[in-house]
């Protein structure tokens, strides 16, 4: 902040972990969070039991868990899980490779970037679910249908972030690289890629979340198999506790994917001074 | 206007700081930022507070402004004890980039506090215009703060304080982050505003030259935990300018004296040792 | 003259690739006998016939209405609850894991559950959109409200800016970049949910119509529907970009000046 002043310790409250003396006891956030989760679980159990909400629509948590415990012992569940994870993983992988390659190419070649900008701006907001009927016609109920939806949705997340990242290359560094006559490969390796990496990781995180949404949705609307299809079957056969159990399962899957993506981001960027907010995305 | 040889007792006290102490506690350790401070500022005085880095100056200022509660002791403004930010006090912070609202124009920034005072629209417009004119920014009223240079941004913050028509103006190292030339201009701006408005100013700085040049009185603080080392009356002529005042023998003496006090403070508190061979002449500016 | 030239050039740059692509599609599909990819000309003719008829009122209007109401509901509720949680530390810590869990659930998976409660009418579809799109707005608002600058907050306090004025002049504007980023994510989720919610036991709407076309093998009609959804998505994101540019002009200016690109 200050231009002429060396950093000082003028404000003790700016020092790590120091708070004004009046606030004595604040429990650590993880304990409160756990309390919140437990409270939420109790609510899920008690509300239906007291009859405040109908058990037909909203079975107690214990019933959901029981249904889920039965479900995980069936082979069908694990097939569905595998199918969803395959659609998610393969689709995400293709999006990453394509998005990063195309992003680096378009980002580093000024002419290409300018001439493709409007097309990207038009295609990006096209909702991937618009492709559902097309996917069904082309691939029926095969994995390719799911992949089409997953890739279309997650590809743009990666591409856009990579484009932002390449644009963020410091002008001075660019000039320096030019004056030392670095070749295209060296420029990519030592200049563009390190700058773009934090953005790429943001893209990976966003794309991983979107890919899961579409992998589950595909099954839900009858395009693919997987967990979404399990939910749809459970719903149409009136197995309400199982519907809840499966939805909770997809939620937990989402949490795990999110945590993994964040861990990957932190590991990759541990050298980086500032973890960027994804406001620019 | 004001008697250059005014002493602390020469005027009616407007602001009273009595036995103020401030302690921070955090995971297992306690930091006593301010130990025991007692002083008063007379109505219409310009008092500078100077002290080494880490002397708890900002803490003290926040306590006076009612932004922090002291652990013990009291601050009294015009006979009323300060328990929250008093309406007759305005603060100018060091970080001009963070004290102006970036989503408001210069004009809106100056006007916002006046709106909170439920002032009539015409009166607000008049005050905003006058204040911006007084700091030399009449032209920039519709610009956004981030379109201005650092020095100009700090002028906006000063205009906002002036338009607020406070009894007491608190300034927390307001010029620490601007370049030397701008700093000199802003110092003269403060002196002239003070003459014109007759407002009471409490000016916190770590720059010894600045404190001597600006103040009628200089309070020298020790290192943390902070006490007052000396309450020094600056007997320079009331009409000051960067060239003559700063090269006058009396200025050099006063600066030398304050510098020695601060070196002493460092030794006495057992903090960082004083720089070897410090004479007070060359190293007297930023203790960085 | 100079500006006209510059305008002309940027227009050319913007339109060149789209024109090439559409022309290619037009030419390559012109004589198409492939059942699944009819000539573009046929698709465009069908587009006019299908969507500028009664379907505009019967299908497009209900879809867009539900989208707008649902999205607005998600934004208002998300910002409101976000402010509440952002301002109250204990409440925030208590609810954070639960909210993160809800955010992680793929929103369409909630449709079967919400339909259990609310039937399959308009209200249910709107609830689906609200429930799916609220999370990014809510969590981003919490983040934004928490991150109000300390100096700015002190400044407001010392000038007596408190209560509603503090919310309006300090907290909301300072959180707005985060809130708007969340709103952008929420918009694409809303459009997805608008379509998906119409695939389940519905009797009108864009998603309903398109899936009907596909099931009855009305291929050009289906293509025209995909095209319309694409245009809808594009128009929505265009409107959003305009809104964002207006409300975050200060933010982008601030960022540019911080990066030294005055």
List, in order of start, the domains of chain A with CATH numbers: 79-270 (1.10.3720.10)
B100 plus B19 within the same structural domain: no
Domain count, chain B: 2
List per-residue pLDDT tens for chain C, 262 residues long. 678 888 888 888 888 898 999 999 998 888 877 878 888 888 899 898 888 888 888 889 999 999 999 999 999 999 999 999 988 888 999 998 999 999 999 999 998 888 888 887 889 999 999 999 999 999 999 999 988 999 999 999 999 998 889 999 999 999 999 999 999 999 999 999 999 998 877 788 888 898 888 888 888 999 999 999 999 999 999 999 999 999 999 999 998 888 765 4
* Least CB–CB distance from A1: residue in B56, B57, B177: B177
pLDDT at B288 over 80: no
- Measured in degrees and rounded to the nearest 5, phi and psi for residue B229 equal -80, -40
Query: Does some domain include residue B56?
Result: yes
pLDDT for the residue B243: 84
Q: In chain A, which residues have their Cβ closer than 8 Å to the Cβ of B59?
A: 10-13
- At B123 the pLDDT is 93
B68: distance to nearest CA of chain A, Å? Answer: 9
Q: Taking CB atoms and an 8 Å limit, are B87 and C160 in contact across chains?
A: yes
The answer to the question of residue B235 being in a domain is yes
Q: Which of B121, B138, B165 is the last residue of a domain?
A: B165
CB-based contact, B102 to chain C, within 8 Å = yes
Look up the CATH architecture of domain C38-258.
Answer: Orthogonal Bundle (1.10)
Per-residue confidence (pLDDT) for residue A278, from 0 to 100 = 40
Burial call C15-39: b when 16+ CB within 10 Å, e when fewer? eebeeeeeeeeeeebeeeeeeebbb
Q: Is there a single domain that holds both residue B150 and residue B181? A: no
* B221/B38 Cα distance (integer angstroms): 11
- For residue B274, what are the contacts with CB-CB under 8 A and spacing of at least 6? B263, B266, B267
Q: Are residues B255 and B175 in the same domain?
A: yes
Residue B137 contacts residue B152 (beta carbons within 8 Å): yes
Q: Does C190 touch chain A (CB under 8 A)?
A: no
- Do the chains contact at C159 and B66, CB–CB below 8 Å? no
In the prediction, which pLDDT does B272 show? 40
User: Could you tell me which chain C residue has the CA closest to the CA of A257?
Assistant: C104
Contact B116 C161 (CB under 8 A): yes
pLDDT of amino acid B143? 94
Q: Which residues contact A165 (CB under 8 A, 6 or more apart)?
A: A103, A107, A195, A196, A197, A198, A199, A200
Cα A110 to its chain centre, rounded Å, is 29
Residue B28 in domain: yes
Record: contact C158-B90, CB cut-off 8 A: yes
Reported as type and span, the H/E element at residue B19 is strand B13-26
Handedness of CA B265, B267, B270, B275 (dihedral sign): positive
Separation CA B203–CA B208 (nearest Å): 12
Coil, strand or helix at B228: strand
If you ran DSSP here, which 8-state letter would residue A222 be given? T
Compute the mean pLDDT over every residue in chain B, rounded to the nearest whole number.
84
For C159, the 3-state DSSP assignment is coil
| B24 and B109 part of one domain | no
Residues of chain A with confidence (pLDDT) below 70 = 1-29, 271-281
Structural domain harbouring B99? 89-165
More confident residue, B112 or A173: B112
Q: What is the pLDDT of residue A271?
A: 62
Q: Where are any strands of DSSP class E within A35-116?
A: none
- Quote the pLDDT of residue C187: 94
- The whole-number pLDDT of residue B34 equals 86
Please tell me whether residues B158 and B29 are part of one structural domain.
no
pLDDT confidence bin for B285, thresholds 50/70/90: very low
Whether residues B269 and B176 fall in one domain = yes
Is some CB atom of chain A closer than 8 A to the CB atom of B65?
no
Task: Tell me if chain C has a CB within 8 Å of the CB of B24.
Answer: no
Q: Where are the domains of chain C?
A: 38-258
pLDDT > 60? residue B187: yes
Which residues have C-beta within 8 Å of that of residue A203, sequence separation ≥ 6?
A: A99, A157, A158, A159, A160, A161, A162, A281
In a domain, B64, yes or no: yes
Q: Is it the case that residue B20 has pLDDT exceeding 70?
A: yes
Contacts of C169 in chain B (CB under 8 A): 101, 104, 112
| Per-residue confidence (pLDDT) for residue A2, from 0 to 100 | 31
Are C149 and B89 within 8 A, CB to CB? Answer: no
A133 closest CB neighbour out of C90, C107, C214? C214
Instruction: Give the tens place of pLDDT for each residue, A176-221.
Output: 887 887 888 888 888 888 888 888 998 999 999 999 999 999 989 8
Question: From residue B82, how far is each of B17, B89, B173 by CA, in Å?
Answer: 10, 11, 22
Same domain, B180 and B258: yes
Q: B62 and B157 share a domain?
A: no
pLDDT of residue A27: 55
Min Cα separation A198/chain B (Å): 26
Helix (H) or strand (E) holding B77: strand B72-77
Neighbours of chain C (3+ CB pairs under 8 A): A, B
């Amino acid at each position: 902040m200050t231009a002429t002043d060396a950093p000082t310790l003028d404000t003790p409250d700016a020092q790590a972990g120091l708070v004004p003396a009046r606030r004595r006891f604040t429990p650590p956030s993880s304990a409160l969070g756990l309390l919140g989760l437990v409270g939420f679980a109790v609510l899920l159990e008690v509300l239906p039991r007291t009859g405040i909400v109908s058990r037909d629509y909203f079975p107690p948590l214990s019933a959901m868990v029981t249904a889920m415990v039965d479900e995980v012992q069936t082979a069908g569940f694990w097939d569905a899980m595998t199918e969803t994870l395959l659609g998610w993983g393969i689709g995400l992988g293709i999006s990453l490779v394509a998005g990063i390659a195309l992003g680096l190419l378009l980002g580093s070649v000024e002419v290409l970037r300018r001439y493709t900008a409007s097309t990207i701006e038009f295609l990006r907001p096209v909702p991937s679910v618009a492709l559902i009927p097309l996917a069904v016609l082309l691939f029926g109920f095969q994995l390719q249908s799911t992949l089409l939806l997953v890739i279309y949705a997650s590809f743009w997340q990666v591409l856009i972030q990579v484009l932002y990242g390449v644009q963020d290359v410091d002008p001075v560094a660019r000039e320096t690289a030019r004056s030392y006559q670095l070749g295209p490969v060296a420029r990519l390796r030592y200049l563009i890629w390190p700058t773009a990496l934090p953005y790429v990781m943001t893209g990976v995180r966003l794309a991983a979340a979107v890919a899961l949404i579409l992998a589950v949705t595909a099954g839900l609307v009858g395009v693919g198999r997987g967990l979404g299809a399990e939910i749809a079957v459970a719903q149409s056969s009136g197995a309400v506790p199982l519907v809840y159990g499966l939805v909770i399962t997809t939620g937990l899957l989402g949490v795990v994917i999110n945590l993994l993506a964040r861990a990957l981001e932190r590991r990759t960027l541990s050298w980086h001074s500032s973890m960027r907010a994804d406001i620019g995305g | 206007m004001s008697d250059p040889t005014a002493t602390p007792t020469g005027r009616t006290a407007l602001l009273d700081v009595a036995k103020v102490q401030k302690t921070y506690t955090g995971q297992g350790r306690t930091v006593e930022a301010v130990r025991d401070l007692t002083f008063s500022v007379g109505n219409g005085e310009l008092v500078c507070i100077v002290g080494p880095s880490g002397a708890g100056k900002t803490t003290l200022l926040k306590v006076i402004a009612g932004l922090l509660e002291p652990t013990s002791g009291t601050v009294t403004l015009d006979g009323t004890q300060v328990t929250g930010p008093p309406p007759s006090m305005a603060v100018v912070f060091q970080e001009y980039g963070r004290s102006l609202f970036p989503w408001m124009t210069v004009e809106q920034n100056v006007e916002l506090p006046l709106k909170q005072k439920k002032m009539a629209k015409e009166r607000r417009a008049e005050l905003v215009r006058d204040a911006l004119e007084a700091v030399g920014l009449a032209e920039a009223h519709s610009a956004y703060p981030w379109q201005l240079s650092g020095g100009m941004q700090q002028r906006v913050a000063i205009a906002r304080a002036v338009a607020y028509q406070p009894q007491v103006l608190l300034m927390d190292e307001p010029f620490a982050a601007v370049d030397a030339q701008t700093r000199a201009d802003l110092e003269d701006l403060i002196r002239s505003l003070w003459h014109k408005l007759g407002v009471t100013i409490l000016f916190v700085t770590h720059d010894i030259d600045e404190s001597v040049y600006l103040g009628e009185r200089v309070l020298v603080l020790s290192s943390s935990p902070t006490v007052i080392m000396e309450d020094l009356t600056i007997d320079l002529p009331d009409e000051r300018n960067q060239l003559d005042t700063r090269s006058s023998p009396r200025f050099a003496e006063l600066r030398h004296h304050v510098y020695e006090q601060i070196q002493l403070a460092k030794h006495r508190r057992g903090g960082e040792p004083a720089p070897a061979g410090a004479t007070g002449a060359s190293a007297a500016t930023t203790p960085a | 003259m100079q500006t006209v030239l510059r305008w002309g050039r940027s227009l050319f740059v913007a339109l060149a690739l789209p024109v090439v692509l559409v022309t290619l599609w037009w030419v390559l599909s012109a004589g198409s006998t492939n059942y699944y990819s009819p000539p573009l000309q046929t698709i465009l003719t069908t587009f006019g016939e299908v969507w500028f008829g009664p379907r505009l009122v019967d299908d497009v209007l209900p879809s867009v209405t539900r989208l707008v109401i649902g999205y607005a509901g998600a934004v208002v509720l998300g910002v409101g609850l976000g402010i509440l949680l952002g301002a109250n530390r204990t409440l925030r810590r208590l609810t954070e894991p639960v909210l993160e869990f809800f955010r992680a659930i793929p929103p369409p998976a909630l449709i079967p559950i919400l339909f259990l409660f609310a039937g399959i009418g308009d209200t249910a579809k709107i609830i689906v959109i609200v429930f799916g799109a609220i999370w990014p707005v809510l969590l981003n608002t919490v983040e934004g409200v928490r991150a109000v600058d300390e100096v700015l907050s002190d400044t407001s306090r010392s000038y007596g800016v408190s209560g509603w004025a503090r919310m309006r002049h300090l907290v909301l504007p300072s959180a707005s970049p985060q809130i708007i980023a969340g709103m952008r994510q929420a918009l694409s989720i809303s459009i997805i949910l608008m379509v998906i919610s119409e695939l389940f036991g519905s009797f009108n709407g864009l998603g309903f119509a398109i899936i009907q076309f596909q099931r009855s093998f009305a291929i050009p009609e289906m293509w025209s529907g995909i095209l319309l959804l694409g245009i809808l998505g594009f128009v929505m994101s265009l409107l959003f970009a305009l809104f964002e540019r207006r409300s975050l002009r200060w933010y982008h200016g601030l960022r540019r000046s911080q990066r030294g690109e005055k």
